[in-house]
Amino acid sequence: MSLARFERTACGLGNRRSILLSYRDPLGLYHKYPNTAPAGTLSAAVCFTILRPMAVSHDALINQLVPLLSAKRLAHSLRVAATAKQLARHYGSDEDCASQAGILHDIAKHQTPNTLREMGIVCTEWDSCWEHFPSVWHALVGPVVVRHFFPDLGDTLTNPIRYHTTGYKTMDTLTMILFVADFIEPERPIPHRAVIEEQAYTQLHQAVGTIAAHTVATLQADNRPIHPYTHACMATYGPPETAVGWTP
């Protein structure tokens, strides 16, 4: 996509507006969100377009995330949001909720039980998970952190955020969309990308099963513990035939 064409897409008329995470200026210097980009410096890789206004704006969500996430993690979250929105449009699900879930899904990624307590967020029910499954703890406590910062969002995003890493035995469409989007966002290095992306847009349930199978294979190869929710996800959704014999 040419720069000129992208600028028309990102900055066109109507109710489109762009959130800029980072950009290069004419001297080649790299700037990070929330700086304002001069005209002619937008990059398709770092711009995320919102098509409709929301009760809680994407600007508000991202502004809250800036002190909580690294620039790299925030960029990942925006890519997941864009991928989730595309999947939601394809399956007739709520695009705004999918975008919100993508933006917020890793809100607790850099936190610990102690740092949450320092912020006045108590979720002791997940302390055992921190001890035994620290790599998935951030997802399970994520809805609690979201509720702390955004009490008006309601509970629609609870299951998508909570199960975006482990999966679960029963997942609604939005939950499956975020689970898949987190795995296939364009800059995540994954094996068999063409296979799983095709599944993502043809058989969403099968894509969930394939991802769960890959997760189990990876954890087994690394001799790492597998959360019971992932086992439950496997029991419901997979493994599909395409996942048999996969290696991480």
Q: Strand, helix or coil at 19?
A: strand
Q: What is the mean pLDDT of the chain?
A: 81
pLDDT of residue 184: 98
* Domains along the chain with CATH numbers: 1-51 (no CATH), 58-243 (1.10.3210.10)
121 vs 137: CA distance, rounded Å:
14
CB 105 within 8 A of CB 69: no
DSSP state of 36: P
Closest to 93 (Cα-Cα) out of 175, 1, 26, 18:
175
Which residue has better confidence, 15 or 123? 123
Q: Report whether pLDDT(148) > 60.
A: yes
Closest to 104 (Cα-Cα) out of 49, 137, 153:
153
- Please write the tens of the pLDDT for every residue from 15-52: 333 344 443 433 334 334 443 434 333 333 344 433 33
In order of 1, 102, 164, 208, 241, the CA distances from 92 in angstroms are 27, 17, 20, 18, 27
pLDDT of residue 193: 93
pTM: 0.77
89 vs 62: CA distance, rounded Å:
22
22 vs 17: CA distance, rounded Å:
15
Q: Which helix (H) or strand (E) holds 50?
A: strand 47-50
Query: Two tokens at 71?
Result: 């620039």
111 vs 114: CA distance, rounded Å:
8
User: Pairing mode, if any, of strands 30-32 and 22-24?
Assistant: antiparallel
Interacting residues of 181 by C-beta distance below 8 A, sequence separation 6+: 80, 81, 83, 84, 87, 98, 102
The segment with the largest mean pLDDT, out of 4-13, 24-33, 37-46, 62-71, is: 62-71
pLDDT of residue 31: 37
In order of 71, 73, 109, 129, the CA distances from 114 in angstroms are 22, 21, 13, 14
CA angle 45, 50, 55 (to 5 degrees): 140
237 vs 130: CA distance, rounded Å:
26
